[in-house]
Amino acid sequence: MNRSAFVLQEMGLSPLWRPRGEPGVPNSPEPQAAAVAETAAITVATPPRVAAVASTAPVAAPAPVEVNEVAPQTKQPHTLPIQDWDSLHAQVAACQRCELAKTRHNVVVGRGNPTARLLIIGEAPGEQEDRQGLPFVGKAGQLLENMLAAAGINSEQDVYICNVVKCRPPGNRNPAPAEIASCASYLQWQIDTVKPDLIVALGRFAAHTLLNSQAPISTLRKQLHHAHGRPLLVTFHPAYLLRSPGEKAKAWQDWHQVKCQLAS
């Protein structure tokens, strides 16, 4: 048993994304038609049900697709230069640039290794994130951790996680253009300072913001883009996977591409 499988078993989440036909893995019922066409498969722990789809062959790292840099949608207000991570946290905590400052409980800057090889960017904090002041700590965050572990990615050493905006939009609505522009300098500083080998955009909204594109996620997936001076891959937001478990096989393909890209 490898380290990832052992850790997940100890967490009570095993088996996780193991191909059908391996020793100790029973054959599962015939997968949904949409998942049959996928080349890799997963069993993601989303208690109490577990989805399993067969795996056939690894997915090669995709060819690069050049994308223009993202331009702010509105002019950003003048701010003092951010000197270091303490300065970033202090500026975000005191930020009053947009209306989200009036409704937030806590700002959510980010978590993880500030020199990580992999930078994961989501849309905006949710209810649990707003209360705890950390990104991806609710059910979607648990699923994200499971997916990283199954792909053999160490979330403590290899990953830094943040969002496009640093405050929760009321009712978990999409951030407004002015709110995105208000946080753009914070996000750009994080990208420039982490200097990741790879960025992963979680979900349609983060992908559209980072790539300055309105293309559907089905088009943006499986391509290696470049934005903000860094290679970038697009995958589903884990909250979407909780609502649409039939897409988990596609998500496994995406995370396999992430693993291949980091290994290249």
d(CA 261, CA 61): 6
Q: Which pLDDT value is given to residue 80?
A: 76
Q: Is residue 128 situated within a structural domain?
A: yes
Q: Is residue 10 situated within a structural domain?
A: no
Please, which pLDDT band fits residue 189 given cuts at 50, 70 and 90?
very high
Mean pLDDT in residue range 170-187: 94
Q: Which pLDDT value is given to residue 264?
A: 85
Please, which pLDDT band fits residue 175 given cuts at 50, 70 and 90?
very high
Q: Which pLDDT value is given to residue 190?
A: 98
Q: Which pLDDT value is given to residue 79?
A: 59
Q: Is residue 53 situated within a structural domain?
A: no
Q: Is residue 157 situated within a structural domain?
A: yes
The DSSP line for 131-197 is HHTSSS-SHHHHHHHHHHHHTT--TTTSEEEEESSSSPPGGGPPPPHHHHHHHHHHHHHHHHHH--S
Please, which pLDDT band fits residue 4 given cuts at 50, 70 and 90?
low
Q: Is residue 35 situated within a structural domain?
A: no
CATH of the domain at 162: 3.40.470.10
Mean pLDDT in residue range 9-25: 46
d(CA 192, CA 159): 15
What total number of domains does the chain contain?
Answer: 1
Q: Is residue 221 situated within a structural domain?
A: yes
Q: Is residue 180 situated within a structural domain?
A: yes
Q: Is residue 243 situated within a structural domain?
A: yes
Q: Calculate what percentage of the chain has a pLDDT beyond 90.
A: 69
Q: Which residue has the tokens 């078993």?
A: 9
Angle at 134 between CA 131 and CA 135, to 5 degrees: 110
Q: Which pLDDT value is given to residue 9?
A: 52
**Does 178 have pLDDT greater than 80?**
yes
Q: Which pLDDT value is given to residue 133?
A: 97
Task: Taking the CA atoms of 127, 132, 133 and 135 in sequence, report the sign of the dihedral they define.
Answer: negative
Mean pLDDT in residue range 31-52: 38
pLDDT in tens, 236-255: 999 999 999 999 999 999 99
Mean pLDDT in residue range 48-68: 44
**Does 210 have pLDDT greater than 60?**
yes
**Does 147 have pLDDT greater than 80?**
yes
* Residue scoring higher pLDDT (21 or 220): 220
Domain that holds residue 79: 64-263
